[in-house]
Structure 1
């Protein structure tokens, strides 16, 4: 009889999903660090920008009349905003990551065929790093300045925060301030940008500072909206299965380039085509269904779901891709072994632990016989020559078996 391992994933407090959660202390430490960084930048930005001077701060082609800058606003991004942040499997080298976005309203000017911020992207990095250096020294943090599209602050050997630097037209902010005032909100008094204001920013003129490429068009809302919309349409299971796959990735590769967003795209792609066949009360089978498609998904080019022409597998070497696909095949095989090919609870546990590590619970009472799945399998395998009376008898026996299991908690768990 197949095994139902749903409770091994979702039971409190020992289920795999809860083993992936950050502790309250870890989350608070990260949020406190984020708030300290935001406060320091907000209070120091104006004086540092003025001290730097126009020649270093502004683009040479920028007209003098549009050379202006204001206090930045902030908006959290990444796994904390998706609610997919996991406890790392290997510490070190893996670290908990909080992504924050800094949005600076500045004037834009016509540069070639595009509009561009008047401030130089290099000056943007320079100002923020100069502001954060004393804070990092004071707190015992490490300022990392070699990341091409962010500034990293290592809180300790287990966690860091990445700060992405954006510019948006100051005309957007003028419009946002007026809208906030009409709603009785003091937009200027808060460091964090409220969601209503965030949604009002121009799509085509949001620019990300890059150390090597200068200003690049980038709208972080697109991926966030795509994933949040998928969760709304197909259910919370999209998020939880994504977290399981991220946990699998972290366990299998202490260091590696398999991006979490690629795994999230794999989950969404399966739910888009097969959500009706995925039981919302069986995370184990939902994970198996995604794992069955994962090798082929990783074997081919993975388009960015919201940016035309961009890819989520950018930079993978052929050797890396082969490794990703090979381990994805093993994942699918082991999940199938655990859930459909054995009635041995210990064997099911061992197969799952082999793929996800020691955070898979070893309490064998969380692995139960799955009469429902056996019923489906037997019906599919039944010869067409069976008479109606024989089929009715078999169905009745199986119904009795399932009822007996359900009296003990059954194959359906919340």
Structure 2
């Protein structure tokens, strides 16, 4: 068995957002917040509240490469409206307000169905989804998103962030790293799997072990078993009935499962079958790209893992790795 702990630790350091990059993003975000607040105050309205959300807020974002774009979500929560939707403005109207507030901030600003997007030259963009707090059918407080084609839609990103924070408390920071590894794999290999789906599947299928390579292998195994039994991924917060995998055709389902099995088997080969750390790292570089470090050929496989006809015990059930 190859001990790949140091390699994965270095890999995580290379894919996590740098302090400089985070500061640039925060500076752009804060400037937009000031522009939006000033616009509303000048109109005699209450300034919105703001909340960072998504991978940046949950610390699962990965550092983009030069050809990639980073996405930061800044939720704009409009104030001064009753929970009764009768007097709420139409979504297209609030989108126009936000567009006016950030006009000419950068050269490229686009109005999308779910947000206003501000593109920056430093290979990142900031999305500005717009919300009003209301009541659901049970009378509970919930955020509604201004969707230009679907009206006001229940969407609760803060609840999702809170849910993930609890998952991290239960499973440890290893969960965040596991999400980053899987995101890097999907980016490097153009795998059809969104970040939010990865986050949910990794959390619900998390496999606790002593080091990141074994955690990743066990978690992927659990995800495959889960999707083979039931190819769905529903949000753990409202709207809970929203299946993030519902749009996949049967062919796309099979392609994703095959991609996951290839990932699992190659990680298994790196851990157990590669002769040394360098050979193992070459397998992992193929999976994750050049940011995965090259290992040392002097660090030999300890060979304390012997292949047998008996299955490994992974994730509480007996499963073959290959």
Indicate if the aligned counterparts of 1:96 and 1:158 stay in contact, CA closer than 8 A.
yes
Partner of 2:116: 151
Structure 2 counterpart of 1:24 = 19
1:24 Cα deviation after fit: 2.9
5+ residue gaps, structure 2, are 311-322
In the alignment, which residue of structure 2 is the partner of 1:9? 8
CA distance in 1, matches of 2:140, 2:299: 48
Question: Counterparts of 2:214 and 2:298 in 1: how far apart (Å)?
Answer: 15
Structure 1 segment 83-162 matched on structure 2, within 5 A: 83-89=59-65, 91-92=66-67, 94-108=68-82, 110=84, 115-116=85-86, 118-136=88-106, 141-145=107-111, 147-156=112-121, 158-162=123-127
CA displacement, residues 158-195 of structure 1 (integer Å, 9 cap, x when unaligned): 111111101126xxxxxxxxxxxxxxxxxxxxxxxxxx
2:57, 2:242 → 1: CA distance?
A: 22
- Shift in Å, 1:214: 1.2
Verify: 1:75 aligned to 2:82, yes or no. no
Q: Aligned runs of 1:280-299 on 2, under 5 Å?
A: 282-299=211-228
Q: Greater CA radius of gyration, 1 or 2?
A: 1
- d(CA) in 2 for partners of 1:133, 1:314: 36
Tell me the distance in 1 between the aligned counterparts of 2:29 and 2:291: 28
**1:306 — aligned with what?**
237
The residue number in structure 2 matching 1:217 is: 154
| Distance of aligned partners of 1:104 and 1:353 in 2 relative to their CA distance in 1, 3 Å threshold | same
Aligned Cα RMSD in Å? 2.5
**What SS does structure 1 have at the residue aligned with 2:146?**
strand
Does 2:301 align with 1:369? yes
Q: Structure 1: where are the runs of 5+ without partners?
A: 51-68, 170-201, 382-414
Of Structure 1 and Structure 2, the greater helix share is in 1
Q: Could you tell me whether the CA contact under 8 Å between 2:117 and 2:128 is conserved in 1?
A: yes
State TM-score, norm by structure 2.
Answer: 0.86
In 2, the alpha carbon distance for the partners of 1:19 and 1:154 equals: 24
Q: Is 1:226 equivalent to 2:163 in the alignment?
A: yes
Question: How do 1:334-349 and structure 2 match up within 5 A?
Answer: 334-349=266-281
Aligned counterparts of 2:215 and 2:248: Cα–Cα separation in 1: 27
Query: 2:143 matched to which residue of 1?
Result: 206
Find out whether 1:322 has 2:243 as its counterpart.
no
- The CA distance in 2 between the partners of 1:25 and 1:228, in whole Å, is 24
Aligned equivalent of 2:174: 237
CA distance in 2, matches of 1:365, 1:269: 36
Match of 2:205 among 267, 270, 293: 270
Partner secondary structure for residue 360 of structure 1: coil
**1:296–1:325 CA contact under 8 A, matched in 2:** no
Asked which structure has the greater RCO (Cα within 8 Å, sep 6+), the reply is: 1
Contact kept, 8 Å, 1:107 with 1:118, in 2: the verdict is: yes
After superposition, the Cα gap between the structure-2 partners of 1:72 and 1:283, relative to the gap in structure 1 and judged at 3 Å, is same
Secondary structure in 1 aligned to 2:193?
coil
Contact 1:88 1:250 in 2 (8 A): no
Relative to structure 1, is the Cα distance of residues 43 and 210 closer, same or farther in structure 2, using a 3 angstrom cutoff? Answer: same
1:43-70 per-residue CA deviation (whole Å, 9 max, x = no partner) reads 112435x6xxxxxxxxxxxxxxxxxx52
Aligned residue among 250, 253, 258 for 2:193: 258
